[in-house]
Structure 1
């Protein structure tokens, strides 16, 4: 759910954010509407008029009409694979975080404090001299562990150690809420082990672009193995690629992984030997810390574990040691000397995503620090950049959207009363998590070093692993956040039946502080509608109000749902962002439902805010037109072809252009707002339009 960050922007001051909060309040407050009516300076439309390409009819290509000038005049920055409205906001948040870090560096506080740890993490990343002097030495201990393995029976303990330190192994394992018992946690085991974005990169021999990437990946492995001191790097690189190809062949496709019912398979620890006999699972579960607290796990892809077991049995130990050495090197390559970092970027950045230039070191250091001690950074971010009145005002906005969705459920013609009742219960139980968490994580047990970056990487990863393991045997914490306040994104959790809207998204350009309501609905409001809709998309709709994986549908209503979903799969599957590469309509179905239903809710919420009055005309545009234009401006983006292919293969989100125009083509309000008629290129016959909620 996907999810889902060149120019350095100066931090926004508290006064500016306070104004942004007023824009939020305007979306739901009758009092503020009255204040706006009385103000001497009328509010602007908020539309970025200079990006409109009036040579294009909105009826023929709405995305080009809204963003055509921007598209022609905008170059993707050299250190980015994509550029657009979302990335602009992420850059703003990065600028805010940089100011926060700079202030912390000037006054880090006493040793062991959170501020001191933030300073340690950041400074150790920025210390090029120490990193260059160390080279591959920080990895010698872990590489020696692999070299010391004499028998495959020793691999379970080694895998457990590697996972503790955040190093990828052929399978992943962690603690998550139990989809069948959502008040309690369970161990979850799933497929992993690949270095390329998707299994297709290994298996599609008829795709010249993917086979070229695969060849460069092989060379990249060989280069880094050579740099680590491997005298037989070419042969060992071939072994690595062979193992990863075997794992890829056994993996489920990303579409298959979207099925939560087929992905829930309870297996007792003592039965794993039947599923995947070549690996000592009992030894692994004990070494990893899952046993004896747990005695079973949910297996996400059972056939993958069988395929992994077969590969483990067939491939010699020496080849597996080459693979594990590679996994260690790849895991730490971003934190080693300059030559290693440069080689990693040449493949990860340039080959995979088409990016010619790396981001500046401060930005990389910031991202590492933020990821390592996120709540400590988030706590300070909220204090510096979020006025206290924001959260209750955004909650009021959420209630407006929830009310619109509630009305929408009752008006559905394809759903019967029994299923509607359950849907309303789920909506009523949906928990909004707005701006920041009620509780912050405690980092007192994390030990940091002022100059040893790899030691800090290990410390942060081990802390995270321990926090995850500690959940076993405890009730699910429904107040826990999976995102940080400083994250420019939003999410829905089916297990918790909760949406999360972080603080960083509650600011310009998703608000125009001088704009009236319509554009703010199209820019920010859609986020609320989209995330609420995820509770009822093809995957989320299989969970009930409490987050339990349960069928609460009548057979007739589920069949009607699937028929509507098939229409979206067909529509988006016809789009081709890169010649020869079509959007996978099944992979992107959940996000496309979120966009289409979310925009419908947004339109209805805006109509509610008008209280029966016509929308104001500003800059020659009605409120409804401004709403849809704002929506399309939100999704304006340019991608490098390599990045677009990687997104098509691995990302459940459609590229921005198709999120924009593909969504509006299904909206009745859009046809009315822009007088779309048969014969126009943006026209879809009524029987082909799909809004599920």
Structure 2
């Protein structure tokens, strides 16, 4: 449960993890004395019966995929997930130690007591849903629209978001100023399409949702007749909100979603809400302008608030309180919550309590836990190695920009200025959040969740009128991920991703450049993808392209979009080439840039085999093994609607078909399934 409210126009890799062995005190891979060295490219993971040119993903990973089904408590199992398990194991060790040593200081007390409270299954069970009874009673006291608006404001400050979302973040057109921003929301299902489409999959999920609502209300003692009415009211309201929402593709447009309004004009859009009078109840004062993602959504929401009976709105509020609290209440609520999630994701067993608690603390007090993680598991010399790799990738990208034949000289100059202006964040923050004012109690798990929710909200809105803090991280050090943040023009690589299969100090350059090198190139390319290219060198949303250059870029990006629209995943489901465009451009650019950087190393310029593979073969095999993963079909179907990343096999295979060196390395010939003629291969950067 990540409390970070900052608007993620940051474009990120999908999370996960990987390592064949558990973490040790040094942070290095553990090997038994005299054990044979584990190959970085292992033939036993490959399916050599498959031609590389027919399905490189299966060729490189086929045997691994057969031997590594999705565990019962997961929805996906692959390189990212394995590394995430390693990170969770490290967190568990740190949290258990902190729970035993709370007298060592505030840091230990905070994370240790929070973890102990989450692991206190007996105490949590005894409380049932007592922790939310006072909130439910407050909602029952609502009698009018004015009462309703007051309750929405109160619950927002407690961390329970209803109807819409708001946060404070940088103004995309004035990046040194924080501004209040309003985005659409109000629905429970993962995407608006689940409410609006009538295919069999969507109908099944809606029926399961109705059943879940009924059973959840029964758990708080609601009579069946009232529960049935409650279910109808919630589905009606959420469907109307879904219908008012932008699609995920529309939400990717930084221009369309940038609507700066005076507070007075915003009130004209929503005549039933006087924002100037209401915002102080949200802890917000002195604001004369706001950013609104979708004014039409707020107009529709306001109409719904006016037209919907107060009793139905109260039912919706009770549901939001209940669903937000369910993961932290007694087993009856946790299990029912999971029963519905099983329909959405296909996951067969509930995630172990210790992992749920560890993930919760990572999102709530992550920079306290991160300090312990860095001390024990991060080797400082890794940071220096990554900085060298970034230098090399930047030099390679520089050459790519200079070499493109579709961009004018002036636009190239501005592109190179942006590239050399990238801010770099490696490993962990230079200064840590201390969560001042948060009180954590060992015997109050739900209270701890609310306390951290309140802190995150208060901290976020307190940024109004203060200088933008560009040192802040959007991820904790123990998170297996990376990101590019357009408004800061920054790339960030948390400590936990700087491990094999992404990076290993003992690995050859082919392995490291195709893995962490391609990740670095991926994040750099996000600065020049269909969204990122609209931000200039200082992060401002400002057009720095000539009209012809922008047209040339779009023509090339459209080819990538169409390629991915052609990839079939499940049944009739295909990859959404528009939703995934930014990530696909980043994958293609990142791999191409990393390959050219690799070719400047001594290994890349040579042709010496290692374990029977040439340098170029090892490079592309390393790329492929990063993406190996099995995913449950239910989760894959959800990902097609909600995930801006393509499925793993297409993240692997899609970019390769456009890179000449891959064809040469594996002698890919006409007639093989992945083969494209030279004139069909394309690149943007």
Decide: shared fold, TM above 0.5: yes
Distance 1:288 1:636 in 2: 45
2:376 to 351, 376, 384: 384
Aligned equivalent of 1:419: 411
Q: Mark the CA change 1:43 to 1:686 in structure 2 (over 3 Å): closer, same or farther.
A: farther
Deviation for aligned residue 1:45? 6.1
Partner of 1:526: 518
Q: Distance in 2 between matches of 1:389 and 1:373?
A: 26
Distance 2:300 2:670 in 1: 52
SS of corresponding position for 1:495:
helix
- Match of residue 35 from structure 1: none
User: 1:665 matched to which residue of 2?
Assistant: 657
Alignment pair present for 1:100 and 2:94: yes
1:308 — aligned with what?
301
For 1:284, the equivalent position in structure 2 comes to 278
Residue 145 of structure 2 corresponds to: 152
| Alpha-carbon distance in structure 2 between the residues aligned to 1:555 and 1:622 | 44
Aligned to 2:219: 227
Distance 1:258 1:132 in 2: 42
For residue 442 of structure 1, report the CA deviation from its aligned partner.
1.5
1:631-672 per-position Cα deviation (integer Å, ceiling 9, x unaligned): 111001111111001100001011111100111111122122
Alignment of 1:11-410 (within 5 A): 11-15=22-26, 17=28, 46-109=40-103, 113-205=106-198, 207-231=199-223, 232-292=226-286, 294-348=287-341, 350-410=342-402
Counterparts of 1:426 and 1:161, CA distance in 2: 43
**8 Å Cα contact 2:18/2:80 also seen in 1:** no
- Alignment partner, residue 422 of structure 2: 430
1:618 and 2:618 equivalent? no
- How much has 1:460 moved relative to structure 2? 0.5
Shift of 1:12: 1.9
Is the CA contact (8 Å cut-off) linking 2:362 and 2:476 kept in structure 1? no
Structure 1 range deviating more: 672-681 or 543-552: 672-681
Asked whether the equivalents of residues 18 and 500 of structure 2 are also in contact (C-alpha less than 8 Å), the reply is no
Contact 1:45 1:516 in 2 (8 A): no
Whole-Å Cα distance in 1 between the matches of residues 616 and 160 of structure 2? 50
Listed one character per residue, the Cα deviations across residues 541-577 of structure 1 (whole Å, up to 9, x for unaligned) are: 0000001000000000100111111111111111121
Of 516, 529, 540, 1:537 maps to 529
Deviation at 1:7, TM superposition (A): 12
Aligned residues of 2:192 and 2:242 also touching (Cα < 8 A): yes
1:43 Cα deviation after fit:
9.2
CA 1:574–1:677: 2 relative to 1, 3 Å:
same
1:8 offset after TM fit, Å?
11
1:108 Cα deviation from its structure 2 partner: 1.5
Query: What residue in structure 1 maps to residue 589 of structure 2?
Result: 597
Provide the C-alpha distance between the structure 1 equivalents of 2:563 and 2:37, rounded to a whole number of angstroms. Answer: 37
CA distance in 1, matches of 2:427, 2:485: 16
Matched, 1:439 2:431: yes
User: Does residue 472 of the first structure (1) align with residue 464 of the second (2)?
Assistant: yes
Query: Normalised by the size of structure 2, how large is the TM-score?
Result: 0.95
What's 2:6 paired with? none
Given that 1:153 and 1:280 are in contact with CA atoms closer than 8 Å, whether structure 2 keeps it comes out as: no
Contact map agreement 1:121 1:369 (CA 8 A) in 2: yes
Structure 1 stretches of 5 or more lacking a match? 21-40
Measure the CA separation in 2 of the matches of 1:170 and 1:412: 46
Instruction: Give, in angstroms, the shift of residue 508 of structure 1.
Output: 2.4
CA contact under 8 A between 2:169 and 2:180: conserved in structure 1?
A: yes
1:573 to 545, 554, 565: 565
Measured in 2, the distance between the counterparts of 1:578 and 1:17 equals 39
Partner of 2:8: none
CA distance in 1, matches of 2:168, 2:51: 52
Match of 1:508 among 497, 500, 508: 500
The match for 1:497 is 489
| 1:164 to partner: Cα distance | 1.7
8 Å contact 1:78–1:357 — kept in the other structure? yes
For 2:594 and 2:655, the matched residues in 1 are separated by 12
Does structure 2 retain, via aligned residues, the 8 Å contact 1:51–1:70?
A: yes
Could you tell me how far 1:678 is from its partner in structure 2? Answer: 2.3
- 1:163: Cα distance to partner? 1.8
Task: Give the structure 1 partner of residue 541 of structure 2.
Answer: 549
Name the CA distance, whole Å, in 2 between partners of 1:159 and 1:502: 36
8 Å contact from structure 2 (residues 27, 377) kept in 1: no
Tell me how far 1:482 sits from its aligned partner. 0.6
Evaluate the alpha carbon distance shift between residue 13 and residue 374 of structure 1 in structure 2; reply closer, same or farther with a 3 A threshold: same
CA contact (8 A) 1:178 1:184 kept: yes
Residue 640 of structure 1 corresponds to 632
Q: 1:641 to 1:611 in 2, by over 3 A?
A: closer
Aligned length: 669
Secondary structure in 2 aligned to 1:64? helix
Once residues 444 and 172 of structure 1 are traced to their aligned partners in structure 2, the CA distance between those partners, rounded to angstroms, is: 24
Change (3 A) 1:6 1:261: closer
Which range moved further: 5-14 or 138-147? 5-14
Instruction: Name the CA distance, whole Å, in 2 between partners of 1:95 and 1:509.
Output: 17
**Against the structure 1 CA distance between its residues 44 and 120, is the aligned structure 2 distance closer, same or farther, given a 3 Å change threshold?**
closer
Aligned residues of 1:277 and 1:309 also touching (Cα < 8 A): yes
Q: Given that residues 124 and 450 in structure 1 are in contact (C-alpha distance below 8 angstroms), is that contact kept between their aligned partners in structure 2? A: yes
1:476 & 1:219 partners in 2: Cα distance?
45
Contact 1:9 1:95 in 2 (8 A): no
Q: Secondary structure at the match of 2:488?
A: coil
Does structure 1 residue 449 correspond to structure 2 residue 406?
Answer: no
Question: For 1:324 and 1:685, how far apart are their aligned partners in 2?
Answer: 57
Q: 2:681 corresponds to which residue?
A: 689
- Cα offsets for 1:240-268 (capped at 9, x unmatched): 11111000000000000000011100011
Residues 6 and 358 of structure 1, relative CA distance in 2, 3 Å threshold: farther
TM-score (norm 1): 0.94
Change (3 A) 1:458 1:515: same
> For the Cα contact (< 8 Å) 2:162–2:320, is it kept in 1?
yes
Deviation at 1:314, TM superposition (A): 1.8
Deviation string 1:42-92 (CA, Å, 9 cap, x unpaired) is 998621211111111101111111111112222110000000000000001
User: Does the 8 A contact of 1:10 with 1:95 survive in 2?
Assistant: no
Q: Distance in 2 between matches of 1:675 and 1:166?
A: 56
